[in-house]
Amino acid sequence: MRCRARMLFAACLLAAVAGLSVEAADTADTDAPRLLVLDLELIGDLGGGAFASEHAARLERANDRLKAELARTGLYRIVDDTPLRPRIEELQRRESLRECNGCELDLARELGAGQIFVPWVYRVSNLILTLNYEIRDAATGAVVARKSFDFRGDNDAAWDRAIAYMVRDLCSTATASGRNAPAGCR
């Protein structure tokens, strides 16, 4: 009987501590900048039409992972782009959103984001790729952060590693600049 009581007490204590951790993370998130994350764009040597469906699936998977990883860190509050999704897709069909003369900033402002994350992958070959990003201030268009990461292999595992590395680097950069690292960065 005593064993059950101790186990019940331990379970309640664990649940209470977990609840406090979630509350603390939620509180920290309210101070984080609101960030619109654009979809990754793939440019360069795309290997011809034979790779089109493979790249489309990889981009979709990578976009989901990127948004989830950025949200997990607590560095940013990721803005839901659903209200403008049809317009975003229409713009993407016509031009690159990273080179659209500020149209991406309009999208960010309309969604209430203070910053916009513009990522793209430059594919040199099936072996050599570069993951690039810019974070821009939605009000001014000023570049807040910019970086490139080379990675090897045009496959899901390599893309996953590149995204994970980029997110870890964003956490390290935030910590190095004196910003308190949210729980998701520790």
Please report, as a single letter, which amino acid is at residue 19: G
Would you give the end-to-end CA distance of the chain in angstroms? Answer: 39
pLDDT at 23 over 70: no
| 127 and 100 assigned to the same domain | yes
* Beta-carbon count within 10 A of 32 CB: 18
Report d(CA 3, CA 73) in Å as an integer: 38
List, as own/partner pairs, every contact residues 43-50 make where C-beta atoms lie below 8 angstroms and the sequence separation is at least 24, other chains included: 43/96, 43/120, 43/121, 43/122, 43/123, 44/121, 44/122, 44/123, 44/124, 44/129, 45/123, 45/124, 45/125, 46/123, 47/123, 47/126, 47/154
Q: Which of 174, 176, 178, 4 is nearest to 73 (CA)?
A: 174
| 101 and 49 assigned to the same domain | yes
| 7 and 96 assigned to the same domain | no
| 91 and 37 assigned to the same domain | yes
Least confident of 36-45, 47-56, 100-109, 162-171: 47-56
Q: Model confidence over 133-151: pLDDT tens digits?
A: 999 999 999 999 999 999 9
| 23 and 38 assigned to the same domain | no
Please report the pLDDT score of residue 174 as a whole number.
Answer: 83
pLDDT at 17 over 90: no
Per-residue pLDDT, averaged over 14-41, amounts to 63
Report d(CA 102, CA 90) in Å as an integer: 15
Report d(CA 45, CA 179) in Å as an integer: 38
| 90 and 54 assigned to the same domain | yes
Radius of gyration of the chain (CA): 20
| 12 and 101 assigned to the same domain | no
| 139 and 102 assigned to the same domain | yes
pLDDT at 33 over 50: yes
Q: Which residues pair with 129 in a beta bridge?
A: 123, 151
pLDDT at 99 over 70: yes
Is pTM beyond 0.85 here? no
Proportion of the chain above pLDDT 90, given as a percent: 60
pLDDT at 5 over 60: no
Report d(CA 57, CA 74) in Å as an integer: 27
- Per-residue confidence at 170, pLDDT binned at 50, 70, 90? very high
Please report, as a single letter, which amino acid is at residue 36: L
| 27 and 37 assigned to the same domain | no
| 5 and 22 assigned to the same domain | yes
| 129 and 160 assigned to the same domain | yes
Q: Model confidence over 60-81: pLDDT tens digits?
A: 999 999 999 999 999 999 999 9
Please report the pLDDT score of residue 138 as a whole number.
Answer: 96
| 71 and 156 assigned to the same domain | yes
Please report the pLDDT score of residue 182 as a whole number.
Answer: 84
In CATH, what number is assigned to the domain containing residue 156? Answer: 3.40.50.10070
Structural domain boundaries enclosing 2 = 1-31
- Pick the residue with more confidence: 98 or 123? 123
- Per-residue confidence at 29, pLDDT binned at 50, 70, 90? low
- Structural domain count of the chain: 2
